[in-house]
Amino acid sequence: MNATMHIRDQLLEELELAVRTSEALIRRIEPGQWNYRPQDNMRSLAELVRHLALIPASDLTILKESPQQEVEGVERSLDEVADSETLALRLRSHFEEAKRYFTSLPEEELLYRSTKAFYAEHGAVQIRWLIEMVTHMFHHRSQLYNYLKQLGHELQFFVLYA
């Protein structure tokens, strides 16, 4: 395997870690906790988890240069879901779809094919989109961890790497 594909696989492994540990955190949410909001200007727990579960699907839709309306449709697709197991399973399936996309790209496309989000002035190459997806997932996984800690869940730091 060449170095480029090795790096791609390492990034996908990191993304899978973020997904796996997010699934575990999501499954800890109790039914009465979905409306929790740390501050008025922050997402509720339900809004945060829905967003987290949609990151691979939403980011993939964006990087494929889909129009804004299509991206918004993806981002609204879980608006009524407040079930831990359903959200964890959707996150997993969205990750698997993104993984299939990135592993299907030949090296040349991964490194040099640039696509542009509907909101951006400039495009980004596919490997950069993958890096963005990884950092996006870890950012919101950390938020979820903090929300659960604030709700009194007994969480140790190592659950983020299990």
What is the predicted pLDDT for the residue at 148?
97
Q: Is the pLDDT of residue 1 over 80?
A: no
Domain ranges of the chain: 3-160
Q: Is the pLDDT of residue 115 over 70?
A: yes
Global confidence as pTM: 0.94
Q: Is the pLDDT of residue 77 over 70?
A: yes
Q: Is the pLDDT of residue 160 over 90?
A: no
Per-residue model confidence as pLDDT tens digits over 7-45: 999 999 999 999 999 999 999 999 999 999 999 999 999
Specify the CATH number of the domain 3-160.
1.20.120.450
How far apart (Å, rounded) are the C-alpha atoms in residues 150 and 68? Answer: 35
Per-residue model confidence as pLDDT tens digits over 36-72: 999 999 999 999 999 999 999 999 999 999 999 999 9
- According to DSSP, the residues that pair with 115 across neighbouring strands are 124
User: Under 8 Å CB-to-CB from 156, ≥6 apart: which residues?
Assistant: none
